[in-house]
Each structure stands twice: as C-alpha cells, then as structure tokens.
Amino acid sequence: MSLDLSSYRDLMLSLLPELVLTGWTLVLLLFVAWRHHTVRDLRIAGGLTIAALVSTAGVIWWLWWHSTRVAGIAGMVAADDFRWVTDWIFLGAAGLTVLISFAYLEREQLLAPEYYVLLLFGTLGMMVMTAGADLMVIFLGLELMSVAVYVLAGFDRRRARSAEAALKYFLLGAFASGFLLYGIALIYGATGTTNVGLIGAQAGMMGSPSVMLLVGLALLIVGFGFKIAAVPFHMWAPDVYDGAPTPVTAFMATGVKAAAFAALFRIMIQGFAATPAWHDMLWWLAVITMVGGNLFALAQRSLKRMLAYSSVAHAGYLLVAVTTGTPAGTSAFLVYVVAYTLMSVGAFAVLAAKGRNGESDVTIDDLGGLAARRPWLAFALAVCMLSLLGFPGTAGFIGKWYILIAATSAGQTVLATILVLTSVVSAGYYLPVIMAMYMKPEPIEAAHVDVVLDRWGRAAVVAAVAGLLLFGVWPNRLLDLARSAGESVRPTVTAPTSRQ
Amino acid sequence: MYARWGLTALLAWPVLTALIVLFIPARLAKYVALAASLIEFALSVPLWWTFEPSTGMQFIVSHRWIPAWGIQYMVGVDGISLFMVLLTTFLMPLSILGSWSYITKREGGFYALLLVLTTGMIGVFVTLDLFLFYVMWEVMLIPMYFIIGVWGGENRLYAAIKFFIYTFLGSLLMLVAIIMLYLHAGRVTGTYSFSYMHLLGQASLLGSGAWWLFGAFFLAFAVKVPMFPLHTWLPDAHVEAPTAGSVILAGILLKMGTYGFLRFALPFFPSVALDPTVQLVIVVLALIGIIYGGLVAMVQPDFKKLIAYSSVAHLGFVMLGIWALTLQSVQGALLIMINHGISTGALFFLAGMIYERRHSRLIEAYGGLARVVPLFAAILTIVSLSSIALPGTNGFVGEFLVLLGSFRTYPIATALATTGVIVAAAYLLPALQRVIFNPLTQEENKRLPDLTPRELIVLVPLLVCILWIGIYPKPFLRRMEPSARQFIELVRPGATQSQPVTPAGGQP
C-alpha cells in the first residue's frame, strides 16, 4: 500500500509499529509504577516486554506484507523493506536480551522492573532511527535510544564498575551527540535542509561539494563512529561493555550497534550518493577498525573484554559493507547483523551463566574443562565462537561471505583482503576459548557446578545456535529478504559523476 | 542408482553415523565407528569397477543450493579424485582400528570427529563447486584441530593452533580469490556461478589480476602440501597428533594441497603456471623440499618427526611431477600421492604401535628390536624400503615415473632430485638399523610384546597395497591416464600428442 504522509491517517499508519511499542511501553511503565518489589513483578514485567516485542513485530509484518511504501520523497519517515527488516533485527535482539535477563536480574538481585521499560525505550529509539528519513528524526531516535542505554549500563548501581561504565558512556555519548548535531547543523547550512533525500538532491546539484558540507559529513561520521565503536572512537567500548550487566552488554553490542549502522546506511546512501568523499573516510575507518579491534582483542585475558573488542572488530567488517555503498553492501550488512546478533547473544548468554558479579573477572582460562561438565553449553559457545570467526557451516560465514562479495564487486579488493587477513588474527582469540573448554583441565575442582542456564536463557541460546546453524547451511530465505531490503535503500538522486 | 547416489551417500553416511557414535555409550563407540567406516569403504569400492576411465568426470550430481549466488551442490569423480576418495575410505577403517587401544578418554568424541573428518576429506576431493569446495576445505580443519588438541601429545595445544592458523590464513586468501574469479566470470559470461566447469578457462582474460589470484590459490595449497618454507606446522602437528591423526594428516590431508594444484590452481591459471619465473620458483621450492626435507629428516632424534620431514621430501617429488607436465610425471605424481598415503600411513601406524608399548618416540630408546619383536621388525623393514622407493615396492614406481617424466622438462632439476632418493635411503636406513638391529641394550626393550592380531589386521592391507602397486600398477595407471592427459591438455594444450604413453600404462 502507498502512504501519503500529508494525511494524518497515513502518517499514523507509517508510524504504527512505533506507536504500538510506545503504547506497550507506557502500559509497562504504569505497571511497574505499582508493582516493583518482588521477583514475581519482575517476571510479569519481562513477560509483558516479550508480548510488546512480539506484537510490534507482528504489526511490522503486516506492513511488510502489504508492501507499504511512502509516496513522494520528502517525508520525515521512510517506509521500505530496509526499515522493516532492521526493525525485526532490533526486536529480535531485544527479545533475546529479555530472555537472558530473567535469571540474571534475579541472581544479581537487580529487582527493578524498570529495566524492561528502559529496554523498550531503547528499542523504540532504534526503530525511530531506522525509520527516520530526516536527520532530525534520526537524531531524536538516537537520543531516545542512548539515554535509555546510558541508564541500563549503570543498572547494577551497587557495583562501582557498572556506575563507571554508565558515566563513561554518558560523557562520551554526549560528546558524540555534540559532534553529530554540529555535523547536522553544517549540513543544513550547506544544503538548506535536514531531509536526507533532499540533501542528496541538493548535493547532486552542487557539483563539487562545498567545504561546509564535507566538514559536516566528517563530523557526522565521527558522531556515528562513537556509536558504532569504530577505532579510534572506540575507547569507551571495552570499559562500558565490561562494566555493564552482561545482558545489557549483549543488547549494546547487537541492537545499539545495528541501529547506528542502519541510520548510517540510510544517510550515506540516500543523502550522500553524490558526495563520494565519504567512501574514502569510511575506507580508512574500516581498515583501522578491523586492524585495531582484532589486535586489541588478541591481548585480552578477560572473556567479556575480549568480546567487547571483538565487537569493535566486527564493526570494522560492517564498515566494509557501508563503504561499498551498493545495494549488495546493504544486504550484506543485514545478513551479517542477523548472524552477529545471534552469535553475540549466544556468547554473552553463556558468559552470564558462567560468571558472577558482572562477569568482568571471568578469564578465558576459567572456562577450562567446561566441555566435560556442561557439554551442551560448551557446544553452544563453540558454535558462537566459530561463527564469530566466520567459519563455514555457520551464519557468520555466510555474512562474511556476503560482505566479501559486496566489497569485491564494488572494486574494494584491498578492503576484502584486509578483512580476511584480520579474520585470521581473530582466530588467535576465538580459538583459545574453544581450546580452554575442550582441551584444558578445570582450573579448580568443581569449577562449573553452578553454571546453569534457566529455561528462558536456554531458549535464547538454543534459538541463537539453531539460527546460526540453519542460516549457515540454508540461508536462502534470509538472503532473499536481505536482498529486497538492501535494494529498497536507493539514492534519490544519482551521482553526476561516477564514483571511483 | 549408484551413479546417482553413490557420492552423496559417501558424504552423508559418515556424518549420520558420527551423530550416532556421539550419543551411544563410549565403550561402544569404536565398534560402531569401525562398522560405519567399513560400510563406507564398501560403499566406495564399486567406484573402482564402475569408473569408466575414458569419460573423464563422471558420477556427476548437481542440485541447487543457494541460487542467489549461483551455488550448487555438485559432485563428481575423475581419474584423479577417484584414487583420493578410495585412499580416504581405505585408510579410515584402519585408522579407527589403529586407535583401538591408543584412545582411552572421550572415545565417543574421537570417533565421531574421525567420521566427520571423512566427510570433509571426501568432500574436498569430489566437489565441483568452488563454494562447496571451500566449505569442505575448512570444515575438515575443525575435526583435525580437535583430534590434535584433545588427544595429542604434551605440546598439543601449540601444534593444534599452529596447524589451524597456517591453514586458515592460506584458505581465507583463497576465498577472496574464488570470489574474484566468480565475479570476473560472471561479468564476462553473464552467468554467476561457482561451478567448476563454469569457472574453468575464465581466468585467461584477467590479465595481471590472474597473478594475484594464482598467488592466493598457491598459498592455500602450498601450506597444505606443505612446500618449503611453509612446512613448519607439519612436524609439530605430526608429532603431537595421536596415531590416527598422523596417519590421516600424512595420508590424506597433505594430498589435498597437491590435489588443489591439479584440480584448481593449474587448470584455472595456465598462463601464470607456465610462466618461466613461476616455474623456476616452484621447481626450486620442490627441490628444496626434496633435499632439505631429507637432510633434516636425517638428524631427527624423534621417529615421528623423521617421518614428518620425509613427507616434505615425498611431496616435493609430487610437486616436481605436477609441474613437469608430462604424462609420465603427472601419473607418477598421482601414484606418489597414493603411495605416500600407504607407506607413510603404515610408518605412522608402526610408530604408534611401538609408542604404545614403550612410550617413547626417540630412535635412541630402541635397538635390537628384531630379536624381541620380529614381526614388527619385518614389517617396518618392508615399509621403510617402500618409502625409500626400492624396486618392487610401490614407492619405486611413483618416483621413477616422476623422474623419468620430469627429465624431459627440467633435466637439471630432475638430476638434483634424484639425489633425494639417495637421501631417503640415508635417513631411513640408519634409523631402521638403530631401531631394529644394533645391540639390544635397553632393559625395557627386552620384554616388548610383538604385534597383536588386531595390529596385523591394520598393517596387512597396507602391505598388500605396497606390493600390488609395486609389482602390477597397471590398474591404477590405466584409470588415471585419461584424467592426467586431460589435466595436461588444460594447462598446456597440445602437449600430450607428441609424448609417448606411459610404459606401464598402455593405451587407453
């Protein structure tokens, strides 16, 4: 169906998923205002969250089924397959996070159901980001998401590291928002609009881009660089990922990152198709992020920190997909993010089961002998590690393969080569996890006795591992979906000169 | 029926049985695994008779897999892969039987991994789709990594990760090369497909890009062969791996490298492969492998390490034979690939058997074993002689054909390579002497039990093959000749017309 954004009815329809989720969030907020004391309240709140996520996904499915599109180009919101697919990814990431949160919150005595409210607000922010076809809307979504996640990072307020994480994230996040806003202001100054499509049209008419536009673009990329934790803007990531409660870390590594990337894709492809300068900027950002992230991760002993740095490295791989600027690159991003969400959540779920007190002290060697005690858990973590490594048979390989195809067909052979070489480096830190679990003895007697996943955590891990293996062997449906979504993000104006 | 399902069954059966082995009680694991591998062998035997040498690629099965990228499940066998598949299915039951008493912990996992490994190895040899090839190539890494890492010797973790990262590095660069070749062929022909036949011959228009792609393929395969100077993972992996791991590593995994050259690297990029500089580099590296491998083997105190370095030398002969591109040399190279699997496999079995008794791999720990364990000594002598390439054993036929065929193309290099045969005698015979002859000085060695019936069952099939190929290699040569000819024609069109047919091979 075609939407005319000048009519209220169609505007409401185009924002239906966000409205539904907002409604649910408010209901949940009301609920926790009355009931926020016992474990039972916490569980009910979690259940309500799941219901909210599922029903929102259903609404999106309905819109997707009717191929909802916006007529005209100058709307504030976009309605295309890219938005629906990324929405599903955010909802999936949030859903998996909820599943691994149940046991975690109870175990760590974080009996505050507001956690789920914040999670929903964060998800809502992500959905607004990917829906926005205007820099202001995107910024609005970004702030909504960020503020919720700042609080979530410090949710374990009794632990100093968690508070430190929240403060660090907040300060640097605010800084990044400043960059982003200033970039938007300069872009507005150069083009006279904040609408992504119109920016593209204006820049296309300009011929060679003005300095103001280029500086604005650079600041925009810096702002997003912070959010996606690209080297050299990644400094906050290890400490924040390390300090935050593990389910929150999983949410940050998957949902938050995916949302920032989704917005970046839309802005770059639709707004700056005529300004090829961003390809060079992102090219370098991708290279140093891949090299830096992988090398830093190699030096980590703590599993959680290693995963934090590995998430920096994966941001580098995703930047390769952005740099191509082609529909294939966008599709590759979607496939990769699906895989990355599954494998990250799986890994963090096992880590949450293993650790206590924030898990920052679980070293890789602490996993020694896990395979003998908890064979299924070890198997799940091994699959996640192999998938992170990009090993055939897992979804991580399909994602990496897609990025490689997209990069190579866009002529970025050097980038593809750097990607595979840094992937070899990553074997140096993913394999020791497998090695510890399967080939080393237990560090102390009965080290893994209390490593258990509850019913919901198990469901999350089973879903993640099954998804990884399924998409690794039979990715056709996912590829078709990603392809149509990738092709739906098109430059509104084609570049006057072909990019090099 | 067999033509349609044979190869698929060979690929599916081990994985299915691996799942069973994993979930039955550990004490039953080896029996089920042995039965599974014997059935697998039985499934593969009809290939030998139903294979029609003159038709080239056969038993082809093709099925869509990921149509979005032009990926299909496509398998087939020709005179080159036929023997690799048979060698794999032949060695697997022996490896399982050879691990019977060696593996005592986590048996279920071990035998399940061996079975998964079987699928991976057969997959590499039969696949005709480059995506599937890459998947199989990598998939077989994991079982081997676990076999070395969990059931290996003292330094197993280091050896396992070294093995993994060396292979991984080479193969990931090959991955980029495969994608580039695919995109190039897609642009030229308008059809995007990873099918082997589709990509064959497309690289000729690549220009200088072909050099990079060849380099990536070369690196992946050269690590696996292994060619000097990329061979350093091999001694570590061989020494640390349990017996079955060493046997499979030497017997089959190394052949994947040379198979890769035969199937992909040369036919895809003939213009690069025939470039004089490339030829020079590869022939020199092969020669270094032959002579340096032999010389290093000479000074090894560790018996398994000695065998490992002898592998470097043997595979050097294979590389020389492949690059010489004459019918005799290529057939010789193929034969050495088979022979090396049999002879070196047998040597590793023997090393493992004596290690189980004495718990030492050092040559100096033994001496005078001929009096204590005569059967063992006799078999070790025969196998060593076949590894040295004594006439009448399989080793001789292969190396003789390679030297004969290569002399036509590279006379000087071949003359130098001939010294490698002498070096082989110089490292194996003294070792043999120190192990089974010499005075019996060590007290522990005086009560070693001789080979058990189970161990004899492992070794006798290998001995039969050693003599069979040594005395009557014609069934082998006849089956591989058309494929070898086709390989040469792909790389250097018109090259086989002027050459005499292989003496032992006869006309097809």
How far apart, in whole angstroms, are the C-alpha atoms of residue A90 and residue A12?
21
pLDDT of residue A323: 92
* Residue A253 DSSP code: I
For residue A335, CA distances in Å to A53, A290, A421, A472 come to: 21, 19, 21, 11
Measured between beta carbons, the chain B residues lying within 8 angstroms of A420 are: 172-173, 175-176
Put simply, the answer to whether A439 touches B67 (Cβ < 8 Å) is: no
A349 touches A323 (CB < 8 A): no
pLDDT of residue B508: 36
B161 touches chain A (CB under 8 A): yes
How far apart, in whole angstroms, are the C-alpha atoms of residue B435 and residue B61?
50
Confidence band for B504, pLDDT divided at 50, 70 and 90: very low
pLDDT of residue A72: 66
How far apart, in whole angstroms, are the C-alpha atoms of residue B230 and residue B222?
7
In the predicted structure, residue B107 carries a pLDDT above the cut 50: yes
Across the range B402-427, mean pLDDT stands at: 88
pLDDT of residue A226: 92
State which residue of chain A sits closest to B153, comparing Cα positions: A439
Beta bridge partners of B127: B75
Query: Counting beta carbons within 10 angstroms of the beta carbon of residue A4, is it exposed (0 to 12), middle (13 to 18) or buried (19 or more)?
Result: middle
How far from chain centre, in Å, is Cα A303?
A: 20
- R_g over Cα of chain A: 22
Angle made by CA atoms A472, A476, A478, in degrees to the nearest 5 = 80
Domain assignment present for A18: yes
Put simply, the answer to whether A439 touches B175 (Cβ < 8 Å) is: no
Upstream peptide bond of B439 is cis (omega within 30 degrees of 0): no
Number of residues that make up chain B: 508
Q: How many domains does chain A have?
A: 1
B426 touches chain A (CB under 8 A): no
Put simply, the answer to whether B68 touches A408 (Cβ < 8 Å) is: no
Which string of b and e fits B131-165 if b means at least 16 CB within 10 Å?
Answer: bbbbbbbbbbbbbbbbbbbbbbeeebbebbbbbbb
How far apart, in whole angstroms, are the C-alpha atoms of residue B443 and residue B445?
5
Measured between beta carbons, the chain B residues lying within 8 angstroms of A334 are: none
**How distant is the Cα of A209 from the closest Cα of chain B, in angstroms?**
33
Across the range B33-58, mean pLDDT stands at: 89
Residue A475 has its nearest CB partner, among B66, B139, B173, at: B66
pLDDT of residue B505: 43
How far apart, in whole angstroms, are the C-alpha atoms of residue A328 and residue A341?
20
In the predicted structure, residue B342 carries a pLDDT above the cut 50: yes
Domain assignment present for A268: yes
Residue B149 has its nearest CB partner, among A386, A428, A435, at: A435
DSSP reduced 3-state for A3: strand
Is the pLDDT higher at A462 or at B4?
A462
Put simply, the answer to whether A408 touches B161 (Cβ < 8 Å) is: no
Put simply, the answer to whether A408 touches B179 (Cβ < 8 Å) is: yes
pLDDT of residue A492: 64
Beta bridge partners of B195: B129
Domain assignment present for A499: no
pLDDT of residue A357: 66
Residue tagged 């990931």 (tokens): B172
B504 touches B214 (CB < 8 A): no
Put simply, the answer to whether A409 touches B183 (Cβ < 8 Å) is: yes
Residues of A with CB under 8 A from a CB of B: 386, 391-393, 397, 401, 404-405, 408-409, 413, 416-417, 420-421, 423-424, 427-428, 431-432, 435, 438-440, 475-476, 479-480, 483
How far apart, in whole angstroms, are the C-alpha atoms of residue A302 and residue B452?
49
Residue B172 has its nearest CB partner, among A408, A423, A438, at: A423
Residue tagged 């964060």 (tokens): A122
> Which range of residues forms the domain containing residue A428?
2-488
DSSP reduced 3-state for B155: coil
Sort residue A35 into left (φ over 0), alpha (ψ -120 to 50) or beta.
beta
Measured between beta carbons, the chain A residues lying within 8 angstroms of B168 are: 424, 427
Put simply, the answer to whether A424 touches B169 (Cβ < 8 Å) is: yes
pLDDT of residue B86: 92
Q: Which residues 174-233 of chain B have a CB within 8 Å of chain A?
A: 175-176, 179-180, 183
Where exactly are the structural domains of chain B? 1-274, 275-508
**How distant is the Cα of A474 from the closest Cα of chain B, in angstroms?**
7
Across the range B151-174, mean pLDDT stands at: 88
- What is the per-residue DSSP string for B442-496? -GGGGG-----HHHHHHHHHHHHHHHHHHH--HHHHHHHHHHHHHHHHHHSTT-S
**How distant is the Cα of A424 from the closest Cα of chain B, in angstroms?**
6
How far apart, in whole angstroms, are the C-alpha atoms of residue B393 and residue B387?
8
- What is the per-residue DSSP string for A93-131? HHHHHHHHHHHHHHHTT---THHHHHHHHHHHHHHHHHH
Residue B176 has its nearest CB partner, among A404, A438, A480, at: A404
User: What element of type H or E holds A70?
Assistant: strand A69-70
Q: Where are the beta strands (DSSP E) in B309-449?
A: none
Question: pLDDT 10s digit of each residue in chain A, 500 long?
Answer: 788 877 888 888 889 999 999 999 999 999 988 887 888 888 999 999 999 999 999 999 999 988 888 776 567 888 888 999 999 999 999 999 999 998 888 888 888 888 999 999 999 999 999 999 899 999 999 999 999 999 999 988 888 888 889 999 999 999 999 999 999 999 999 988 898 888 888 888 877 888 899 999 999 999 999 999 998 898 899 999 988 999 999 999 999 999 999 999 999 998 888 888 888 899 999 999 999 999 999 988 889 999 999 999 999 999 999 999 889 999 999 999 999 999 999 999 999 888 776 666 788 888 888 888 888 999 999 999 999 999 998 999 999 999 999 999 998 889 999 999 999 999 999 999 998 888 888 887 777 777 888 889 999 999 999 999 999 999 999 999 999 898 888 776 544 444 43
Mean predicted lDDT score pLDDT of chain B: 87
Put simply, the answer to whether B67 touches A476 (Cβ < 8 Å) is: yes
Put simply, the answer to whether A405 touches B183 (Cβ < 8 Å) is: yes
State which residue of chain A sits closest to B156, comparing Cα positions: A439
% of residues, chain B, pLDDT over 90: 31
% of residues, chain B, pLDDT over 70: 97
Put simply, the answer to whether B164 touches A427 (Cβ < 8 Å) is: yes
Q: What is the pLDDT of residues B265-321, one digit of tens each?
A: 888 888 888 888 999 999 999 999 999 999 999 888 888 889 999 999 999 999 999
Put simply, the answer to whether A424 touches B134 (Cβ < 8 Å) is: no
Is the pLDDT higher at B374 or at B505?
B374
Domain assignment present for A498: no
Measured between beta carbons, the chain B residues lying within 8 angstroms of A392 are: 134-135, 138-139
Nearest CA-CA partner of A397 in B300, B59, B179, B230: B179
Domain assignment present for A101: yes
How many beta-carbon contacts under 8 Å exist across A and B?
73
Q: Where are the beta strands (DSSP E) in B56-192?
A: 58-66, 71-77
Sort residue A208 into left (φ over 0), alpha (ψ -120 to 50) or beta.
beta
For residue A357, CA distances in Å to A109, A242, A307, A352 come to: 10, 11, 17, 10
Domain assignment present for A401: yes
**How distant is the Cα of A304 from the closest Cα of chain B, in angstroms?**
22
**Cβ-based neighbours of A66, under 8 Å, separated by 6 or more:** A1
B149 touches chain A (CB under 8 A): yes
Residue A476 has its nearest CB partner, among B68, B168, B183, at: B68
pLDDT of residue B260: 92
How far apart, in whole angstroms, are the C-alpha atoms of residue A219 and residue B294?
62
Other CB atoms within a 10 A radius of the CB of residue B294 amount to 25
Put simply, the answer to whether B173 touches A476 (Cβ < 8 Å) is: no
Put simply, the answer to whether A391 touches B142 (Cβ < 8 Å) is: yes
Q: What is the pLDDT of residues B183-240, one digit of tens each?
A: 988 888 888 889 888 888 777 777 778 888 999 999 999 998 888 888 888 888 888 8
